[in-house]
């Protein structure tokens, strides 16, 4: 067998799981790289498009395979896969909260795939890179340098990790062995909290019924109401254990008053977790927007994404925890076969498997590190500020127009509006939904919808470094054209 022969792989000609023809592979890979770069250069020409039925059917995996790893494979990837993304690389993708991705991701993902590092632990480059990224986030967010962190797939996962550490603080590390027992742990959040927190409560066995939603105003959670709720639950025998503050709510881009929440959490001795999925990155923005997340560094834990407002390719997020001992106490579990060593491959500390659910983990840090090496944090701050400026501009245009209605004040990067302000609620919702769908189907723009005061409205979330002012004008013209016909 060729695999048993030490020596130059390039001379091997037998079929296996490495290219039999490295020169052919090299040529095909170069061609594919060209196709990928061409795609990004022309991102403006490629809005979302539905996957044709024939292409979808062609994705089915039959017995055969056998395309080889040369030109035929590269051609198939370029023609049948590459064009059918979510559309979020396009400058007028404003749906949900989607990052655009970065050209530097093409480089970092290529290197990451080549290294194939397992970042669960041990002593190698990718682990040091993850430490460097976590250290940078700590500084940006104002966490102490003793805080710990771990990169995960998204804010949803990061929320589970953060609340698991909060649970250890409330019930002690024995909770891992004994389960939650009889204590009724209660968490609190504003009404606009993301469903990720509800899911985390469910996964930790705490029950989403024990997530109490507090009314909010334009300035986020009503802090006085929160204090009353905590005190009355405690008198009734429950254990208030965490307050979840939101830095950038998913519907409206609102921010809780994190300074006030940090004061309250200290008074009441509860854990302050912040869901900063996208909004945490206002730390990098110009002052009017940066101020929105003031106080974030006082949280006990923070969950946020790199794949939204740091624009890096999916998926990448961080769980950051102020007290490293609680973080480790919630997750560390190494059987004998995983014991660390003072030196050698099994050296290195921390091992990231001690900070989260995953043992085997990919190299998520590299794409963040690469992007920051390329552009510097200042460029990200400028892009984030630019997105907020565009959302504000959209809000101003909508407000000034007689035929459109701004539904809520624009706080950061999200604008919600109606295209038929004078119609009654149901009809208004129907028109808004149909305009959004038509814009998607025609490749004009991707907005999404949400429901505010019971009415379906158009929602534009700008976490897109390719959007220009002309794109906002184009969007408004398209909205009117489609509504009027």
Ligand X SMILES: *Cc1c(COP(=O)(O)O)cnc(C)c1O
Binding site for ligand X (CB under 6 A): 97, 154-156, 194, 196, 248, 250, 275, 277-278, 305, 317
Which among 81, 78, 84, 79 is positioned nearest to 31, based on CA atoms?
A: 78
What is the distance between the alpha carbons of residues 126 and 450, in angstroms, rounded to a whole number?
40
> Residue 285 half-sphere exposure, CB side, CA atoms within 13 Å?
25
Q: Which CB sits closer to ligand X, 190 or 405?
A: 190
Q: Which residue is nearest to ligand X (CB)?
A: 154
Q: For the chain, what percentages of helix, strand and coil (3-state, to nearest 5) are there?
A: 50, 15, 40
Q: Which CB sits closer to ligand X, 130 or 275?
A: 275
Distances (CA, A) of 179 to 176, 204, 406, 436: 6, 9, 48, 46
Report, in Å, the least distance between residue 111 CB and ligand X: 23
Distances (CA, A) of 424 to 13, 382, 408: 72, 40, 18
Q: Which CB sits closer to ligand X, 256 or 354?
A: 256
With helix as H, strand as E and coil as C, how does 381-418 read? HHHHHHHHHHHHHHHHHHHHCCCCEECCCCCCCEEEEE
Omega before residue 234 within 30° of 0, cis: no
Tokens of 439: 């814009």
Q: Which CB sits closer to ligand X, 28 or 196?
A: 196
Distances (CA, A) of 20 to 8, 32, 66, 113, 294: 12, 19, 13, 19, 57
Report, in Å, the least distance between residue 149 CB and ligand X: 15
DSSP of 145-181, one letter per residue? TT-EEEEES-HHHHHHHHHHHHHHHHH-TTHHHH-ST
Spatial contact of 296 and 220, defined as CB atoms under 8 Å apart = no
CA 428 to chain centre: 31
Q: Which CB sits closer to ligand X, 108 or 156?
A: 156
Report, in Å, the least distance between residue 164 CB and ligand X: 16
Cα dihedral sign, 58-59-60-63: positive
Helix, coil or strand: residue 351:
coil
Secondary structure element (H or E) that encloses residue 450, with its range:
strand 448-452
Report, in Å, the least distance between residue 354 CB and ligand X: 22
Q: Which CB sits closer to ligand X, 19 or 253?
A: 253
Q: Which CB sits closer to ligand X, 275 or 323?
A: 275
Q: Which residue has the tokens 């923005």?
A: 285
Report, in Å, the least distance between residue 275 CB and ligand X: 5
Report, in Å, the least distance between residue 302 CB and ligand X: 12
Q: Which CB sits closer to ligand X, 154 or 395?
A: 154
Q: Which CB sits closer to ligand X, 151 or 186?
A: 151
Report, in Å, the least distance between residue 433 CB and ligand X: 21
Report, in Å, the least distance between residue 156 CB and ligand X: 3
């Amino acid at each position: 067998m060729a695999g048993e022969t030490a020596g130059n792989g390039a001379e091997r000609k037998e079929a296996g799981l490495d290219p039999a023809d490295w020169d052919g592979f090299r040529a095909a890979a170069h061609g594919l790289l060209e196709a990928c770069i061409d795609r990004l250069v022309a991102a403006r020409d490629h809005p979302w498009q539905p996957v044709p039925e024939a292409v979808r059917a062609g994705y089915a995996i039959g017995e055969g395979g056998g395309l080889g790893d040369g030109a035929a494979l590269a051609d198939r990837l370029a023609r049948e896969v590459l064009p059918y993304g979510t559309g979020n690389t396009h400058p007028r993708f404003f749906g949900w909260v989607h990052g655009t991705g970065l050209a530097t991701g093409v480089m970092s993902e290529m290197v990451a795939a080549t290294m194939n590092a397992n970042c669960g632990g041990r002593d190698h480059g990718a682990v040091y890179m993850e430490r460097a990224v976590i250290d940078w986030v700590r500084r940006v967010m104002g966490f102490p340098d003793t805080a710990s962190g771990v990169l995960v797939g998204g804010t949803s996962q990061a929320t589970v990790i953060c609340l698991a550490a909060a649970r250890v603080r409330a019930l002690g590390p024995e909770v891992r062995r004994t389960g939650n027992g009889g204590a009724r742990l209660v968490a609190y959040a504003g009404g606009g909290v993301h469903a990720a927190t509800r899911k985390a409560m469910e996964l930790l066995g705490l029950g989403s019924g024990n997530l109490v939603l507090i009314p909010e105003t334009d300035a986020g959670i009503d802090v006085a109401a929160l204090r009353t709720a905590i005190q009355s639950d405690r008198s009734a025998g429950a254990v208030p254990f965490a307050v979840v503050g939101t830095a950038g709510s998913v519907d409206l881009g609102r921010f809780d008053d994190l300074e006030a929440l940090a004061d309250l959490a200290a008074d009441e001795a509860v854990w302050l977790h912040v869901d900063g999925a996208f909004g945490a990155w206002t730390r990098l923005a110009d002052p009017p927007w940066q101020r929105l997340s003031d106080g974030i560094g006082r949280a006990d834990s923070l969950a946020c994404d790199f794949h939204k407002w740091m624009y890096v390719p999916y998926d990448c997020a961080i769980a950051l925890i102020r007290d490293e001992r609680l973080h480790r106490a919630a997750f560390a579990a190494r059987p004998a076969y995983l014991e660390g060593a003072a030196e050698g491959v099994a050296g290195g500390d921390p091992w990231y498997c001690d900070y989260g659910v995953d043992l085997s983990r990919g190299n998520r840090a590299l794409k963040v590190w690469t992007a920051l090496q390329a552009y510097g944090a200042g460029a990200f701050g400028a892009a984030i500020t630019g997105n907020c400026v565009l959302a504000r501009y959209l809000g101003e245009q909508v407000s000034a127009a007689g035929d459109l209605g701004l539904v809520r004040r624009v706080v950061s990067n999200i604008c919600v509006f109606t295209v038929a302000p004078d119609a009654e609620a149901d009809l208004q919702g129907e028109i808004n939904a149909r305009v959004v769908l038509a814009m998607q189907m025609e490749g004009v723009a991707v907005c999404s919808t949400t429901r505010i005061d019971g009415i379906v409205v158009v929602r534009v979330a700008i976490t897109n470094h390719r959007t220009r002012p002309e794109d906002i004008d184009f969007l408004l013209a398209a909205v009117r054209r489609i509504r009027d016909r």
